[in-house]
Amino acid sequence: MFTRLLSLLIAAFWVVMTGLFLRDTYFPDHSRFASVPPRLVLDLFLADASAFNNTLHLYKDGIRTGHASFTARRPGDSATGSYAIVGNGTVVLHEQPLLEDGRRPEAAWRLRGELANAEVWRSLELDVRVPVLDLSAVLEWREGQDLPSVDVRRGGEVLMSTEMLRSMLAISGAAGLPALLGGMKSQPGAEKAPAITAREGVMDLAGKRRRCYILTAGLLGSEQVRAWFTESGALARMELPQGWQLIEPLMHGLSLDGG
């Protein structure tokens, strides 16, 4: 059951990440919060992450279920405008039986994504390991690929591969599969929308109203992912679909505005 769920999560992750497009619904034209270049926010985050480690708590419907850390880097020649977003963390598998020591199994994950010009994904890599179940899942995508390379294994047994994923998505009736899963590749004559946008916002921190920045990525359907950064570039919070949240513990009670 869990292996099937993990395979579906891999598929969902890919559809979400390659289906990024601009959805400016939280900030109408008359909003008092100005747009800013995503590069500005990422440069602040890069500087902050190089000086301080961040650890955000992962919550599902208000229940803490893991943690995550993120950082930004400038791979290779910084003149190219590329940014590498690197993350890692753990997720408690509440649906799994208790271990002998009374704990729930945990999945450890690592994520690396490269952004071109701070707006469009150039590559994505996701690695998930569940040692107590001898389970691993690896997803890799490079610009130009219509599908990622997928490898899900339990021990030496292959549970999911790229071709199996392609067949599964096709059977599920995903219309326009190549266009959907090749979201980084615009159709001939079509305008490519930015994957990420940034705006100013305000958050209440330690009883004071403080300026912040909000990165927004629209997902397929009506879902969005939003990340709040302090004025100095510290990652404070992320709001994810389906009731998932990542919150910097010292800012758990912060009040947010502008998004």
Instruction: Please report the pLDDT score of residue 218 as a whole number.
Output: 59
Instruction: Please report the pLDDT score of residue 18 as a whole number.
Output: 43
Instruction: Please report the pLDDT score of residue 80 as a whole number.
Output: 61
Instruction: Please report the pLDDT score of residue 50 as a whole number.
Output: 81
d(CA 123, CA 233): 23
User: Tens of pLDDT along 148-173?
Assistant: 899 999 988 999 998 988 887 777 65
d(CA 214, CA 207): 20
Instruction: Please report the pLDDT score of residue 127 as a whole number.
Output: 96
List, as one string, the DSSP characters of 11-62.
Answer: HHHHHHHHT-B----SS-TT-SSPEE-HHHHHHHHHHHHHHS---EEEEETT
Instruction: Please report the pLDDT score of residue 22 as a whole number.
Output: 27
Instruction: Please report the pLDDT score of residue 172 as a whole number.
Output: 61
Give pTM, 2 decimals. Answer: 0.73
Q: Which residues of the chain have pLDDT under 50?
A: 5, 8, 15-31, 175-194, 220-221, 255-256, 258-259
Q: Which residues contact 194 (CB under 8 A, 6 or more apart)?
A: 22, 38, 119, 120
Q: Check if the beta carbon of residue 151 is closer than 8 Å to that of residue 160.
A: yes
